[in-house]
């Protein structure tokens, strides 16, 4: 199978799933229950693991590899060339390639999924600040995820092209990730969004007509012959803006475990497709996992130092080690959140 055909089939699958999501399973606005959110979270995790299984047995479809020459041409200039030893037959080399690609995908997926948790905290804060009813959350998140897919497609393949020519760019992003990780440790978690002075709200209010009230689930309405945008659309714009900021951290982080833009894209898409259900699952229990933010800070610092170490000191951390570090930090953060009580703020009157 050619890589173009594989990519087209993948995108068709994503479009079909999105169409079924909004047009069949969530046609009517309603508040998503924890049970429903858990069900959809399991569905998307299973689909993501199904992709990993496909890569384990048919990873060559992603890159259109059908011969030893194709395989050697692909691994040239990547971290895989050290794994393919001279004299190996095609079957043995192909098996090593499949294992490494699968590990890269899994590491990228779990890394993106972990970092998405911080984005969920931000989205909860946005919805709360704007006073949006919970029954409209899913519609906003659906279109937000759709926009994120388009933006990430452009960002990932653009960054992939830049990294292929200038590998030192990842070291710059490594510094940015370390800075972001330190900020998470210093963050007290009590930020508020000033809805009136948010730059996106101010820009939209200046250039478009905005209705003061929500009109059901509509993003646009017509009043007295004039077109208006609704507060729900403003929330969508703010969420898209926050995702762009979030992607500046998360996408380069995934490039630390694989520089293959296709694997980065596949892992990113499955992670953000499951983001909506994870949002509803964590919406009411964010306080219980209060140490996750510190764990994500440690994760960003690890990835940042890994990028800098690879570029300047030739320190190579294997994909398997990266995968275990990512999962380890996530598990430890969750466990500590459950066994260590969060200190309540004492109000002084």
pLDDT for the residue numbered 158:
92
pLDDT for the residue numbered 75:
82
pLDDT for the residue numbered 347:
46
Token duo for residue 30: 């309603």
Q: Could you read off the pLDDT tens digit of each residue along the chain, which spans 349 residues?
A: 688 899 999 999 988 888 877 655 566 767 778 788 888 889 999 999 999 999 999 999 999 999 998 888 888 767 677 777 777 889 999 999 999 999 999 999 999 988 888 788 788 888 888 888 888 888 888 888 888 888 899 999 999 889 888 888 989 999 999 998 998 887 765 556 667 778 888 888 888 888 877 777 788 888 878 888 888 888 889 888 888 888 888 899 899 888 899 999 999 999 988 888 888 887 766 667 778 888 989 999 999 999 999 888 878 888 889 999 999 998 999 899 888 877 665 444 4
pLDDT for the residue numbered 214:
76
Q: What are the sequence ranges of the domains in the chain?
A: 3-339
Q: Which helix (H) or strand (E) holds 121?
A: helix 90-130
Residues 219, 233 contacting (CB under 8 angstroms): yes
pLDDT for the residue numbered 55:
96
Q: Count other C-beta atoms under 10 Å from residue 239's C-beta.
A: 22
Residues 100, 83 contacting (CB under 8 angstroms): yes
Residues 145, 272 contacting (CB under 8 angstroms): yes
**Dihedrals φ, ψ of 340, to 5°?**
-105, 115
pLDDT for the residue numbered 62:
94
Token duo for residue 76: 């040239």
SS3 222: strand
pLDDT for the residue numbered 293:
84
Closest CA to 174 of 111, 255, 233: 255
Q: Which residues contact 74 (CB under 8 A, 6 or more apart)?
A: 63, 65, 80, 97
Q: Count other C-beta atoms under 10 Å from residue 347's C-beta.
A: 5
* pTM for the whole structure: 0.87
């Amino acid at each position: 199978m050619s890589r173009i055909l594989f990519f087209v089939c993948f995108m068709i699958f994503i479009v079909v799933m999105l169409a079924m999501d909004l047009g069949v399973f969530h046609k009517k606005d309603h508040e998503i229950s924890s049970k429903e959110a858990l069900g959809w979270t399991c569905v998307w995790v299973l689909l993501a693991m199904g992709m990993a299984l496909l890569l384990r047995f048919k990873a060559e479809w992603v890159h259109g590899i059908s011969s030893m020459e194709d395989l050697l041409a692909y691994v040239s200039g990547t971290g895989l060339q050290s794994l393919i030893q001279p004299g190996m037959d095609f079957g043995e080399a192909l098996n090593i390639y499949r294992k490494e690609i699968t590990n890269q995908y899994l590491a990228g997926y779990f890394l993106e999924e972990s970092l998405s948790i911080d984005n969920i905290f931000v989205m909860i804060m946005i919805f709360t600040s704007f006073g949006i009813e919970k029954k409209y959350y899913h519609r906003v998140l659906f279109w937000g995820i759709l926009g994120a897919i388009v933006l990430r497609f452009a960002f990932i393949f653009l960054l992939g092209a830049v990294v292929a020519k200038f590998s030192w760019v990842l070291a710059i992003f490594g510094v940015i990730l370390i800075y972001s990780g330190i900020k998470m440790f210093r963050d007290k978690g009590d930020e508020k969004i000033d809805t009136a002075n948010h730059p996106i709200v101010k820009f939209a209010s200046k250039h478009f007509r905005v209705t003061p009230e929500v009109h059901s689930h509509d993003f646009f309405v017509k009043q007295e012959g004039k077109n208006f945008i609704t507060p729900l659309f403003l929330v969508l714009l703010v969420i898209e803006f926050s995702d762009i900021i979030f992607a500046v951290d998360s996408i380069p982080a995934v490039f630390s475990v694989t520089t293959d833009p296709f694997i980065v894209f596949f892992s990113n898409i499955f992670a953000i497709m499951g983001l909506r259900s994870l949002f509803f699952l964590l919406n009411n229990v964010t306080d219980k996992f209060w140490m996750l933010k510190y764990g994500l800070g440690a994760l960003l610092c690890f990835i940042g130092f890994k990028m800098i170490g690879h570029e300047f000191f030739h320190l190579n951390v294997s994909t398997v080690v990266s995968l275990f570090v990512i999962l380890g930090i996530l598990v430890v953060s969750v466990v500590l959140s459950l066994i260590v009580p969060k200190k309540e703020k004492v109000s002084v009157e």
